[in-house]
Amino acid sequence: MTAYHHHAGSDPKSSSDSNIASDIALRVKAIEALLIEKGIVDPAALDTIIETYETKVGPHIGARIVAKAWVDSEFKQRLLADGTSAIAELGLTGFSSEHMIVVENTSEIHNLIVCTLCSCYPWAILGLPPTWYKSFAYRSRAVIEPRVVLKEFGLEIPENVEVRVWDSTSDLRYLVLPERPEGTEGLSEEELAKLVTRNAMIGAAKVDLTTVPSEVSQ
Amino acid sequence: MAIETSNECMSAEAARAILDNGLNCRVNCDIPPQFQVGELVRAKVTHPKTYTRLPRYVRGKVGNIMKDYGVYVFPDTVGQRLSTKPQHVYSVRFAAQEVWGKEASANDALYVDLFDDHLEKV
């Protein structure tokens, strides 16, 4: 199967407007076919990239980092002091996660990540960004009214808690270290990792015991 | 000096290597920083027609240098294939009220990564 087919069939549920989606899909298909025909793009390289993000890279990688930080306080300190090196200890670096900053949510500070300029995101750690993260609405509203945005995600931040919005304007990428929920003292690192959702690592959710592990909604 | 861009078709092996190892944007050189941690800075008021990583919403606003992240290539010139122009990147904290006015929460803040060329002394 060529990359051509992968793209043509890419995630129809990711858009609420099927006309727009099919326009884009058609355009991508046409450009891709041209690039391959002219020898500018090697379909094998495209397949490698698509397969990586479809089957290997995703939020489960970030969840491993978070769970380790929850159980290993020395790792957590290294992670917050130098995210790049601490994540490299686990061998989890990769494209668009070369320079990592990890920010910790606490009872006093809530961190939220955005990229107002485009959609910069730690791909090797969280996979490809969700559609909402790339939307104009999120990118503009996250900086001007983060509390309202968080409320729409179901998260009410008390007025005495500082909301910090991190705009990914350089080549550094951000990961939120969520608070470890109460009642998880007896869980293993692997069990903890299953609770950590993608949205929690962007700062758009908290981790709780009722979290559905296979968060797939876009 | 202009940056040369290869016209060679990327192989699957090259794609694999980039996915696994990433692309390093950091530059190992001891270019002195223009600003120090703790210093107040103003984001420049400038409206380049070309690519920039300086968001409009902080232009002219005063923030505080929280951290010096080190030296990186400068996307504003790399994006035009002009030069790498390595310089320091800082985490700059802007109070939400400095950027958005009194309607914003007094507790909240924006942390924006800005380069030496984006900033001036207050």
Residues of chain A with CATH 3.90.330.10: 58-202
Q: Is the pLDDT of residue A107 over 60?
A: yes
ipTM score assigned to the predicted complex: 0.96
- CA dist B8 and A60 (Å) reads 34
Annotated domain spans of chain B = 25-121
In the prediction, which pLDDT does A209 show? Answer: 83
- CA dist B85 and B1 (Å) reads 10
Mutate to test the interface with B, among A46, A51, A167 (most CBs of B within 10 A): A167
Say if residues B112 and A167 touch (Cβ distance below 8 Å). yes
Say if residues A103 and A164 touch (Cβ distance below 8 Å). yes
In the prediction, which pLDDT does A216 show? Answer: 42
Contacts with B71 from chain A: Cβ below 8 Å: none
Question: CB of A119 within 8 Å of any CB in chain B?
Answer: no
- Cα–Cα nearest to B48, from B115, B94, B121: B115
Residue A6 pLDDT grade (very low, low, confident, very high; cuts 50, 70, 90) = very low
Question: CB of A73 within 8 Å of any CB in chain B?
Answer: no
Residue A111, H or E segment:
strand A109-114
Residue A22 pLDDT grade (very low, low, confident, very high; cuts 50, 70, 90) = confident
Residue A74 pLDDT grade (very low, low, confident, very high; cuts 50, 70, 90) = very high
Averaged over B6-25, what is the pLDDT? Answer: 91
Q: Is the pLDDT of residue A159 over 70?
A: yes
What mean pLDDT is reported for chain B?
Answer: 95
- CA dist B68 and B99 (Å) reads 22
Residue B1 pLDDT grade (very low, low, confident, very high; cuts 50, 70, 90) = low
Q: Which of A95-99, A146-150, A151-155 has the lowest mean pLDDT?
A: A95-99
Cβ distance of B75 and A164 shorter than 8 Å: no
Q: Which of A111-125, B19-33, B43-57, B90-104 has the lowest mean pLDDT?
A: B19-33
In the prediction, which pLDDT does B72 show? Answer: 97
Angle subtended at Cα A116 by Cα A110 and Cα A118, rounded to the nearest 5 degrees: 130
In the prediction, which pLDDT does A15 show? Answer: 45
Q: Percentage of chain A surpassing pLDDT 70?
A: 87
Q: Residue A43 burial (CB < 10 Å; 0-12/13-18/19+)? A: middle
What mean pLDDT is reported for chain A?
Answer: 89
Q: May I ask the CATH class of domain A58-202?
A: alpha beta
Cβ distance of A96 and B22 shorter than 8 Å: yes
Question: CB of B79 within 8 Å of any CB in chain A?
Answer: no
In the prediction, which pLDDT does A132 show? Answer: 97
Looking at domain B25-121, does it have CATH number 2.30.30.50?
Answer: yes
- CA dist A163 and A185 (Å) reads 27
In the prediction, which pLDDT does A11 show? Answer: 45
In the prediction, which pLDDT does B4 show? Answer: 85
**Among the options A18, A85, A118, A140, which is catalytic?**
A118
In the prediction, which pLDDT does A8 show? Answer: 40
In the prediction, which pLDDT does A3 show? Answer: 38
In the prediction, which pLDDT does B81 show? Answer: 93
Comparison of pLDDT for A148 and B9, the residue scoring more = A148
Question: CB of A60 within 8 Å of any CB in chain B?
Answer: no
Chain B residue with Cα closest to A88: B21
The CA distance from A137 to the nearest CA of chain B, in Å, is: 15
Q: Is the pLDDT of residue A9 over 80?
A: no
Cβ distance of B89 and A170 shorter than 8 Å: yes
Q: Is the pLDDT of residue A75 over 60?
A: yes
Q: Quickly list H helices, chain A.
A: 3-8, 18-37, 43-51, 59-71, 73-81, 83-89, 123-126, 131-134, 136-144, 146-152, 189-195, 198-202
